[in-house]
Structure 1
Amino acid sequence: MKRATLRPDHLLPEHSVPPPWPGREVRLEGTVTYVRDTPATAPGAEPALYVHGLGGSSQNWTDLAYLLADHLDGQAIDLPGFGRSEPGRRYTVPAFADRVIRWIEHSGRGPVHLFGNSLGGAISVHVAGVRPDLVRSLTLISPALPFLDFRRSLQGRMLPLLAIPRGERLAAWRLAQVAPEVMAQQVMEASVADLSRICDQRREEALEEIRARHEATHHAAAYVRTFRGLVSSFLRSYLPGSGSLWRLAGTVGAPTLVVGGRADRLVDVRVAPQTARVVPDSRLLMLDGVGHVAQLEVPRLVARAVLGLLAETGDAVKRSDMAG
């Protein structure tokens, strides 16, 4: 493990607030997967794929994908049951990872620079561990790799509901009762350390997305089932056998950037440094006063670290080296 390198800010595009990138529905293995494209703005860009976290969507990557479009030809997917993708049959880390693998194969763009936030980080580690041929580099932002002290996560309050009979239905019912405006504020407060960093346009987009989820009958159940699947993967990681995310992380061969926020309220802040220690070829960036979604809260800092990773590994940034 070593410290992440930050490339100069002037190598990035000027400050802008782009709208969500255009998307399309793709039928994959019988169900619809929604994909947003952030086309490259310069020749020679490498393919990238962005994977969101629990309760998130492809829109979580709008700003970072814009900042990196000079170097990366980006796509962001909505996982099954989230965003505009149709529900899935299973909501486990391996099942989500299989969907990501199928998409990379279907798109014919691999190997890709793979990005994952939170649950998406756990999924990305799984993909990189089982299919190293599909991953050029790995960027993990507050990855939800296993930890057992759920007092260090606001989501730990859901655990008792999952432990009782019919608790999953009760938790889903409770989520469905929260008004979209209240839910949007709660999500923002839980995920972001400094709300002043989130502009009015992003707040309105988040509210619109939560309103759409509120009308989707499957969303609450998908959220709770995914949370249960994530907790199960945490527990299996501390038991003998091949299902450990930590053991998979130790096999990742791709050059990796790990970003953590020291004000993260959803994933134990000790997980990001531990991830960087376990992944063999890793760089760590810990950010003071930043929460769970650094790509939303401080996208320019994250983009500078990504350019540092790419420059160090010799991918996609020869133009930056010449300009700098």
Structure 2
Amino acid sequence: MGIYDSTYVHGIHVVHDGPREAPPLVLVHGSGVSGSSWGPVVPVLARRHHVVRVDLPGHGQSPPAASYDVPGQAAVLAAALDELALSSVTVAGHSSGGYIATALAEQRPDLVETLALISSGPSPDALLPQPAVLRALIAPPLGPLLWRVRSDAMLRRGVTAVCRRPVTVPDGLVDDVRGISYRTFRTVLRRNTEYIAERSVPTRLSALDVPVLVLFGAADPRWDPSSAHLYGTTANARVELLPDVGHFPMLEAPGDTGESLLAFMAAAGR
């Protein structure tokens, strides 16, 4: 099922796949990437769902924002979904996109029917030492310098450094990653940490009455995979680990990731 609509809604770039009359599934990407990161898993999802991919502010084809705090980004996403006249949506967030999805459910329980978190670390203490290429790109003093001279090969290594399996990084994703500024990326990372340091994601989910799928790669080098068990304390959470998969299940195991999402939504009547 190909892309049949790409537009801007409430200031953010939105791409639609699948039949519009099908149950809506909103896909939210993680820090520094874009909606293109979901590309390999979209075809299987679009067979049964109206798939809505967004580029968060300052990412992909969406313009920068004045603020990147998690609740504020969730509010922008809510306004876009309202403008699209979508309701009773499933929201799936990858990595820090899971924080935006959680904040959306906190703000708009009337809008979010079900929630899926993929490779979303529960709290700051679950963060592992990062691969060298990411440390070089993210942290000063090298980060700002390398950011200006990033090659396509370097950007691809930045993505594959957190993957367990060999992956092909889509060209569109490389282009989108190139577009984010160093200052924006660093700000986004700080705001994400503030959100989960204030209250862990499992604690936040425990206050919500929404079915949750938590999907982790069992070999995730970014977030400690064993931390996934912390989500098990949430009454409505279903936790799954994908063997031999790293931080990007959508790129590393799109078939398994898609089937897990579809099975979860089917069980929830979606």
TM-score after normalising by structure 2: 0.88
Residue identity (%): 24
Of residues 193, 208, 211 in structure 2, which corresponds to 1:255?
211
How many Å separate the matches in 1 of 2:6 and 2:261? 24
How many Å separate the matches in 2 of 1:304 and 1:206? 23
Contact preservation (8 Å) 1:121, 1:145: no
Q: Aligned pair in 2 of structure 1 residues 312, 150: CA closer, same or farther (>3 Å)?
A: closer
Aligned to 2:171: 204
C-alpha RMSD of matched pairs (Å): 2.6
Of residues 126, 140, 144 in structure 1, which corresponds to 2:121?
144
Structure-to-structure mapping, 1:163-202, within 5 angstroms: 171-190=143-162, 192-195=163-166, 198-199=167-168, 202=169
Aligned to 1:266: 222
Contact preservation (8 Å) 2:33, 2:176: no
Aligned to 1:67: 44
Aligned to 1:6: none
Larger Rg: 1
How many Å separate the matches in 2 of 1:66 and 1:123? 24
How many Å separate the matches in 1 of 2:230 and 2:131? 20
Contact preservation (8 Å) 1:261, 1:288: yes
Shift of 1:173: 4.3
Of residues 55, 58, 81 in structure 1, which corresponds to 2:58?
81
Does the alignment pair 1:25 with 2:2?
A: no
Aligned to 1:106: 83
Q: Aligned pair in 2 of structure 1 residues 128, 175: CA closer, same or farther (>3 Å)?
A: same
The code of the aligned residue for 2:42 comes to: A
The code of the aligned residue for 2:188 comes to: T
Contact preservation (8 Å) 1:94, 1:123: yes
Contact preservation (8 Å) 2:37, 2:173: no
Aligned to 1:230: 192
How many Å separate the matches in 2 of 1:290 and 1:245? 22
Shift of 1:278: 3.5
- Give the match's secondary structure for 2:164: coil
Contact preservation (8 Å) 1:184, 1:206: no
Contact preservation (8 Å) 1:126, 1:249: no
Between the two structures, name the one with larger relative contact order (CA 8 Å, sep ≥ 6): 1
Paired residues in the alignment total 269
Shift of 1:149: 5.0
Shift of 1:19: 7.1
How many Å separate the matches in 2 of 1:52 and 1:143? 11
- Give the match's secondary structure for 1:148: helix
Contact preservation (8 Å) 1:47, 1:72: yes
Shift of 1:66: 1.4
Does the alignment pair 1:308 with 2:270?
A: no
Q: Aligned pair in 2 of structure 1 residues 278, 101: CA closer, same or farther (>3 Å)?
A: farther
Unaligned runs of 5+ residues in structure 2 are none
How many Å separate the matches in 1 of 2:171 and 2:214? 29
Shift of 1:235: 2.7
Shift of 1:95: 1.7
Aligned to 1:221: 183
The code of the aligned residue for 1:300 comes to: G
Instruction: Give per-residue Cα distances to partners, 1:29-58, cap 9 Å, x unaligned.
Output: xxx3111111228xx520111100011101
TM-score after normalising by structure 1: 0.74
Shift of 1:299: 1.3
Shift of 1:250: 1.1
